[in-house]
Amino acid sequence: MVLVGCTAVLTALGHSKPFDYLFTNYFYNLEGRKFSTSRLHVIWAGDIVDKTPAGSDAVRFFLALNSPEEFSTDFVVRDFIAFRNDLLSDKLSRNISRALSSCSAAAVSEPDAELRRLLDSCYEDQNRAFCLNGLSVGRAASALAQYCKAEGLDLTDPTTSYWWLKGLSLLCAPIMPQISATLWRKIGGEGDPNFLQAYEITAPSAAADNHPAFAKLTADALRPCLPLNLANEMVA
């Protein structure tokens, strides 16, 4: 009703323009119940990032994938832990480490057709998801997830590793900006990750040490950010 009223008022004023786009969403719950500050049933963004090792990138990615754009969705603590451990720690971190270990400026050539198709397809999906007439952070995050889960890539090959890392950095930029910026620097990119430079060959500084990784997350490690009723239910 508020949105309808605002639109009617702006139209009636004549000298003001109504909104071009209105974005709404359904409720986002916490363990099956509405987020409620008055009932202390809430996870504060600052707490989960500052008081736990969850990491802002992982939280942003999980929230984007579970965005309540078409129906109500739920932040389930154990689902977040599984997401962080299975996709980010077990799969993505391992692949990043392997790719950085094999990445070499001297051996880099043009990407093969299959990898280029994967990157182009995921980027097109993400780009469409950010169009104002069809905005969906869920679809944008799904494009990144599709890229992260890609199988059959030979990450012992320097050229494949280089282009896979570059694609990962570009697709991570709007979802996981910290890891995106770190990878961009490691492959020799300058400034911010930019698709205009997607197929320019740079000189990697890809040492395997100090690579951005997602360590395993435990339920006990999340206790400091949880409301008391949930914290008491968590088992390490």
Domain residue spans in the chain? 28-197
Would you state the pLDDT for residue 175?
Answer: 97
Helix spans in 23-175 (H): 45-50, 56-65, 77-83, 94-102, 113-129, 137-148, 158-172
Alpha carbon distance 13, 149 (integer Å): 51
Q: Which amino acid is at 160?
A: T
Per DSSP bridges, beta strands 33-34 and 28-30 are antiparallel
3 state DSSP class of 232: coil
pLDDT at position 211 is 65
Contact by Cβ (8 Å): 169, 187: yes
Strand 28-30 and strand 73-75: pairing? Answer: parallel
- 56: Cβ–Cβ under 8 A, 6 or more apart, which residues? 49, 178
Q: Residues in the chain with pLDDT < 50?
A: 208, 236
> What are the CA-CA distances from residue 181 to residues 17, 31, 83, 204 (Å)?
38, 33, 22, 14
Does residue 29 contact residue 74 with C-beta atoms inside 8 Å? yes
For 70, other C-beta atoms within 10 Å of its C-beta total 10
Return d(Cα 167, Cα 118) in angstroms, integer.
9
Q: State both tokens at 36.
A: 């409620």
Q: What are the Cα distances from residue 176, in Å, to 56, 58, 69, 158, 226?
A: 8, 7, 20, 24, 23
Nearby residues of 202 by Cβ (< 8 Å), 6 or more positions away: 105, 187, 188, 189, 190
Element at 28 (helix H, strand E): strand 28-30
Per-residue pLDDT, 174 = 96
CATH number of 28-197: 1.10.730.10
**Residue at token pair 């490691």:** 186
At 185 the pLDDT is: 92
> Alpha-carbon distance 93 to 212, whole Å?
7
The reported pTM is 0.89
